C-alpha cells in the first residue's frame, strides 16, 4: 500500500481536520499520521501521512482535499521507505551529537543529520571569516553567498531565524555567531517548527562544543581542573 506525505493549509478551527480526514476516507485512504508544522493568523499547516490503496488515486486525493472550504494542498510526495517520526528523529540526533569526540566530527555529524532530519538538499556549517564551509553535505551554495546571506540576516530588523525567512533556506547561529549552520530544500518550504528544531540542534552543538574545548584545555593543563 503506497504511503504519501501531504502538506495542507487549513483553517485553524474545530472540525477542519475532521473534514479533511473525511475526504481522505472518500478515496479509500487511511490517515495514519499528523504533524502540525505551523499555526498563526487563523491558519495551520499540517503534514499528513496517508496510506492509499493505489498510486493512481493521488490526483483524486488532492482534488478531494481541495474541496474542503479554506483548505489548500501545498505539497504531496511519497513517504520515505523508513518511517519518519520527527520527535524520535530529533532525540536520536541529539544523542548522536552529544556523543561526538571531536569538534570536526561534531560539525560533520550536524551537517549530515540536518540533511536527513529535514529531508534537505544540502547543509553546511560555515565559519563566517572563511571562504569554505568547515562541514558540508550536498550541493552547497558558494560560501561567499552563504556568508552574505547570514550577514544580511543578522543586520535585518527582523532576523531570519526560527520564525521567519525565505522558504528554501533555514539557519541558526553556532559558537556565539562565529559559526552558523544552514540548510536548503527545494520544493517544500521550511516551516516554523522545523526552524525551531534546527535552532535547538544548534544549541545542543554549542554545549557539546564548549564541553570538548574545556576537556581539551584540561588535558593540556591538568592543573586547571583543580
Q: Where are the domains of the chain?
A: 3-78, 86-223
Predicted local distance difference test score (pLDDT) of residue 165? 55
Q: Classify each residue of 183-198 as buried b or exposed e, where b means 16 or more C-beta atoms within 10 Å of its C-beta.
A: bbbeebbbbbbbbebb
pTM of the predicted model as reported, rounded to 2 decimal places: 0.72
Q: Which three cell numbers stand for residue 221?
A: 593543563
Query: pLDDT by residue (tens digit) across 94-119?
Result: 999 999 999 999 999 999 999 988 88
Smallest CA-to-CA distance from 198 within 86, 99, 76 is with 86
pLDDT in tens, 13-31: 999 999 999 999 999 999 9
CATH of 3-78 among 3.30.930.10, 3.30.70.260, 3.40.50.720, 3.40.47.10: 3.30.70.260
For the chain, which ranges sit under pLDDT 50?
A: 157, 159-164
> Which positions ≥6 away from 44 have C-beta within 8 Å?
9, 10, 11, 12, 16, 36, 38
Q: Domain 86-223 belongs to what topology? A: Beta-Lactamase (3.30.450)
Amino acid at each position: 500500500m503506497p504511503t504519501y506525505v501531504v502538506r495542507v493549509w487549513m483553517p485553524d478551527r474545530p472540525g477542519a481536520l475532521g473534514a479533511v480526514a473525511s475526504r481522505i476516507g472518500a478515496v479509500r485512504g487511511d490517515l495514519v499520521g499528523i504533524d502540525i508544522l505551523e499555526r498563526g493568523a487563523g491558519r495551520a499547516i499540517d503534514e499528513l501521512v496517508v496510506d492509499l490503496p493505489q498510486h493512481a488515486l493521488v490526483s483524486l486525493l488532492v482534488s478531494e482535499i481541495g474541496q474542503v472550504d479554506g483548505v489548500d494542498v501545498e505539497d504531496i510526495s511519497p513517504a520515505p521507505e523508513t518511517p519518519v517520526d520527527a520527535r524520535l528523529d530529533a532525540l536520536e540526533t541529539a544523542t548522536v551529537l552529544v556523543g561526538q569526540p571531536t569538534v570536526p566530527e561534531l560539525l560533520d555529524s550536524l551537517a549530515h543529520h540536518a540533511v536527513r532530519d529535514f529531508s534537505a538538499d544540502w547543509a553546511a556549517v560555515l565559519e563566517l571569516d572563511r571562504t569554505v564551509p568547515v562541514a558540508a553535505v550536498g550541493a552547497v551554495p558558494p560560501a561567499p553567498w552563504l556568508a552574505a546571506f547570514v550577514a544580511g540576516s543578522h543586520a535585518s530588523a527582523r532576523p531570519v531565524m526560527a520564525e521567519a525567512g525565505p522558504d528554501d533556506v533555514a539557519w541558526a547561529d553556532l559558537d556565539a555567531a562565529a559559526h552558523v549552520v544552514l540548510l536548503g530544500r527545494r520544493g517544500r518550504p521550511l516551516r516554523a517548527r522545523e526552524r525551531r528544531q534546527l535552532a535547538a540542534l544548534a544549541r545542543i552543538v554549542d554545549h557539546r562544543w564548549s564541553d570538548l574545548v574545556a576537556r581539551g584545555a584540561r588535558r593540556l593543563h591538568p592543573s586547571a581542573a583543580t
